[in-house]
Structure 1
Amino acid sequence: MIKESNNPEEHPVLLAIWEASVRASHDFLTEEKILEIKQIILEGNIFSHVDLHAFHNEKGEKVGFLGLSHYKIEMLFIHPDYQGMGIGKQLTEFAISEKKITRVDVNEQNLRAVRFYKKMGFQVIKRNPLDSQGNPFPILEMEIS
């Protein structure tokens, strides 16, 4: 079940999902870089700048979430124990159909995510050699066709 998750009291659970997901899927990031990004999320209160929606399992636990801004998916993270179960697909379909999302940026090195978004109908429209913090992690700007 997908529910809005904009209450700041929910942010620690979402951060734990983010970290577990990143550790499982972003093998190009060092431990130092993961901790640095985590600190940016905390200090910048990043979760408060997006419209958050969490996927809850049958026990009511949050196991994945989506962060939206305007017409763009800003974040989509699924706990590793729940990856491959269609949760990302359900959240993305929700974003497209209910929130009219048309764009997403993806780390080029996260091949699984790139394949996922292409399967969902997104196409690469631009490649940036650096991420938003100026790190050498290329970003693919994708748009749904």
Structure 2
Amino acid sequence: METIRIHEVKQPDRAPRLPALLQVWEASVRATHHFLSDAEVKQIREYVPQALTGVANLFVAESKTGVPVAFMGTEDGRLEMLFLSPDERGKGLGRQLLEYGIREQGVREVTVNEQNPQAVGFYEHMGFETYQRTACDEEGNPYPLLYMKLK
């Protein structure tokens, strides 16, 4: 496995990284969120920069050449986002990021799309359990959400 460097990116330093992080986000979503249409992915993509710049804590995993391959956002004990380039899935990077979030950021909760079974399985494997389900996402779209807490 290639050497990966994980570091926190403070809010003033996020803007120059947005294009590369958007690429990671879109590749990840297209590989895992099969329930979204192309138009929906493009529509959601418009809000990702705001989420990336607004989240309290942003951690980026970069390849040895400095290219972002994954990122995680946390705030107030919640995992707000975790996206990996498809090429990095299954190599332990998601686990590494989440374990760091649990250990160093106090992550105890996550919200996940029910229609993303790979993510649901990952979080269950990492010790999270569902405590609430909604029929729609937070914008009222028909995408059920699972609210999960660390056991």
Which runs of 5 or more residues in structure 2 are unaligned?
Answer: none
Name the SS for the 1:59 alignment partner. coil
Taking the TM superposition and a 5 Å limit, the aligned residue runs for 1:39-54 are: 39-42=46-49, 45-50=50-55, 51-54=57-60
CA deviation map 1:20-64 (0-9, x unaligned): 00000000000010011011224xx22111121011223332100
CA distance in 2, matches of 1:113, 1:57: 23
Gaps of 5+ in 1: none
Residues of 2 paired with 1:121 and 1:127: CA distance? 17
Runs of 4+ in 1 over 6 A off after TM superposition: none
% identical aligned pairs = 40
Aligned mate of 2:9, from 5, 14, 23: 5
Offset of residue 133 of structure 1: 1.1
From the superposition, tell whether residues 62 and 111 of structure 1 become closer, same or farther in structure 2 (CA, over 3 Å): same
Q: How many equivalent residue pairs? A: 143
SS across alignment from 1:94: helix
Equivalent positions of 1:51-62 (< 5 A) are 51-62=57-68
AA matched with 2:144: P
CA distance in 2, matches of 1:105, 1:91: 16
